[in-house]
């Protein structure tokens, strides 16, 4: 869907150490897993995907790594209703489209101008740092 959504320009190792954090094998593996399969997995899903490569890793560590990666802006959280938090390495401004039929989440690039227009609808004393936009609907996939 999204061809070459941006990756943090710095290496993850640099990004981590710039934040005073260590580039551990667990953190790098979790990050690589997210890059490899960009389908907004949950922590449990990441855990399942990387267990074979690092059988000793624990779910708690996966949660810790994901949180760390979010903190140093290498990945983002995606929440919908109250289901499990999902993670995404696409750092460009984008919205999420939730396919009600398949449950899949698709990234949708957003024109910066629209985001600005949205922010400008706010009362003067409201200063938004972030706008989150989530579509809910269906696709015509004839696949």
Report the distance separating Cα 27 and Cα 77, nearest Å. Answer: 16
- Cβ neighbours, 10 Å, residue 18: 10
Judged by CB under 7 A, the residue of 60, 114, 118, 122 near DNA is: 60
Q: Choose the contact partner of 42 out of a second copy, DNA, none; CB within 5 to 8 A by kind.
A: DNA
* Shortest spacing between CB 25 and a second copy, in angstroms: 28
Binding DNA by CB under 7 A: which of 6, 11, 35, 59?
Answer: 59
Residues in 66-95 at the binding interface with DNA, rule: CB under 7 A: 67-68, 82-85
Among 5, 42, 131, 133, binds DNA (CB under 7 A): 42
Q: How far apart are CA 26 and CA 47, in angstroms?
A: 11
Contact of 22 with 29, CB cutoff 8 Å = no
Considering beta carbons, is residue 78 or 107 the nearer one to DNA? 78
Strand duo 105-109 + 94-99: pairing = antiparallel
Residue 46: exposure state from Cβ atoms within 10 A (0-12, 13-18, ≥19): buried
Tell me the closest approach of the beta carbon of residue 70 to a second copy, in angstroms: 11
Binding site for DNA (CB under 7 A): 21-22, 24-27, 42-44, 54, 56-61, 63-65, 67-68, 82-85
């Amino acid at each position: 869907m999204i061809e070459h959504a941006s990756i943090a320009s710095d290496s993850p190792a640099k990004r981590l150490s710039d934040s005073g954090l260590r580039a551990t094998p667990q953190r790098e593996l979790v990050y690589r897993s997210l890059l490899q399969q960009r389908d907004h997995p949950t922590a449990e899903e990441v855990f399942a995907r990387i267990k074979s490569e690092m059988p000793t890793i624990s779910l708690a560590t996966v949660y810790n790594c994901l949180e760390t990666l979010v903190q140093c802006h290498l990945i983002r959280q995606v929440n919908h209703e109250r289901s499990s938090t999902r993670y995404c390495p696409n750092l460009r401004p984008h919205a999420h489209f939730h396919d009600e039929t398949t449950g899949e989440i698709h990234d949708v690039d957003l024109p910066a101008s629209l985001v600005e227009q949205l922010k400008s609808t706010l009362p003067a004393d409201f200063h938004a740092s972030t706008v989150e936009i989530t579509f809910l609907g269906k696709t015509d996939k004839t696949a």
